[in-house]
Amino acid sequence: MYKGSVTEEAREVLRAIELIQLGARMPVLEKELTLSRNRLIRLYRELKSASPPKGMLPFSADWYFTWLPNIHASLFYNIFLFLKDEAKCSRLDALTRAYRLYIEHCECAETERVLSFTRAWTLLRFFEGGLLALTRCTVCSGRFVRHARDAMKPATCCICAPPSRAGVTRAMLASRELAQGAADTADSSDTPDTPTSSSKRRGTSPLSEISEAMRDTLAEVKRAVDPKRNAAAGSSGNAAGKPTSHPFLPRSIPV
């Protein structure tokens, strides 16, 4: 049962609602608010129509050092620091407002929201615990998230020096392969069946080469085995009108 004043309790409930709407999990709510666990669970169920997820919060700081999370974490933490130090917001207000501003920024930039609210909160905890620190980039002079032990060493941020494969995701590679496959299929169905186009197609993909060769062989075998079909096909497909036979089959097969 809450022991404080009614107005303070109402404020706590409003804070809890805001945090839950932003995606805060139970350990975050329990750490930041003074409401009881049962009250928080009831609030969570009312707002999300589901029980709060179980499991541990992320505990490793390494995630913040990979290039894309590092950019998003640096952006969020710089907003947070501005709101806390310059706008004189309280820690919790600065956290929620900074996260809202971060979401707005992602929407305006039409980019994926990499930093979840839990990650943002964990980032704050790592800074408060002295595990992380901000370092000024030697190129753009922007401050970015770094391990505290490396904070004094000069370094370049991930925006100024992105890794060579930055932006290339597995999903992107898969979609590229799909697009390439679709282009190959369209190419093979649109072009007429001439020896030159066939050989060109064979050069594009080993799979199409096998299937094309198999198809040719099967057609030849059918013609060699069935003289009636062979005669009908010979009038349209074979210019000489002579029955063609597969080199590995006997010349004449008794019907």
Chain Cα centroid distance, residue 114 = 9
Residues between 193 and 252 with contacts to Zn ion, criterion CB under 5 A: none
Q: How far is the CB of 122 from Zn ion (least distance, A)?
A: 24
Does residue 139 belong to the site contacting Zn ion (CB under 5 A)?
Answer: yes
106 is an annotated ligand-binding site residue:
no
Q: Is 160 in the site for Zn ion (CB under 5 A)?
A: yes
Beta carbon nearer to Zn ion, 99 or 144: 144
Contact 95, 121 (CB under 8 A): yes
**Which of 35, 68, 99, 39 is closest to 168 using CA atoms?**
68
Mind giving me the DSSP string for 179-233? Answer: HHHHHHHHHHHHS---HHHHHHHHHH-HHHHHHHHHHHHHHHHHHHH-HHHHHHH
Say whether 140 counts as a known binding-site residue. yes
As measured in angstroms, the least distance from the Cβ of 105 to Zn ion is 18
Give CA separation, 69 vs 15, 120, 126, in Å: 27, 10, 15
How many residues of this chain bind Zn ion (CB under 5 A)?
5
Q: Is 160 annotated as a binding residue?
A: yes
Could you say which residues in the range 17-46 bind Zn ion, by CB under 5 A? none
Q: Is 137 annotated as a binding residue?
A: yes
145 touches Zn ion by CB under 5 A:
no
Residue 140 makes contact with Zn ion by CB under 5 A: yes
Query: Which residues of the chain form contacts with Zn ion (CB under 5 A)?
Result: 137, 139-140, 157, 160
Annotated binding site for Zn(2+): 137, 140, 157, 160
